[in-house]
Amino acid sequence: MNRRSILLVEDNPDDEELILMSLRKNGIANEVEVVRDGQEALDRLLGGRAPSVAEGDGFPTLILLDLKLPKVDGLEVLKRLRGDPRTRLQPVVILTSSDEERDRVGSYASGANSYVCKPVDFAAFAEAVKQLGLYWLILNKPPKA
């Protein structure tokens, strides 16, 4: 059985630390792997190096994806994931500071499962991460690979 794990695609070290702190604070102890740019995410998920997060198929249960990434932006990462049969059904939540309508529309049009703006306030941020973890890692029932 595949462990429920998270792939966090985040280039901002402060946001990365807040997300990891929020997960721990809320008792979400699932394994989290962090990659810091879009190309690294694509290499991790579609080739380039051996899977390391999950046993079995090597894919995380949930991908938390920032939009504004170096090398390959988040929307392009999402489009490539949706274009590959191995990852087309993989749950992807956009977790970004962008509240732009065009980013939301582009994300959903490209196949995002959810779009969450990073709150500025830490308590609100921690609550948002808690809710994401509870829903995607506990309540949601993804299809078998």
Average pLDDT over residues 50-65: 68
Rounded-to-integer distance, Cα 51 and Cα 8, Å: 14
* Domains located in the chain, CATH noted: 6-139 (3.40.50.2300)
Chain mean pLDDT for the chain = 87
pTM: 0.87
Higher-scoring residue by pLDDT: 49, 67: 67
Helix (H) and strand (E) counts in the chain:
5, 5
C-beta separation of 74 from 9 below 8 A: yes
Average pLDDT over residues 89-103: 94
| Amino acid at position 105, single letter | V
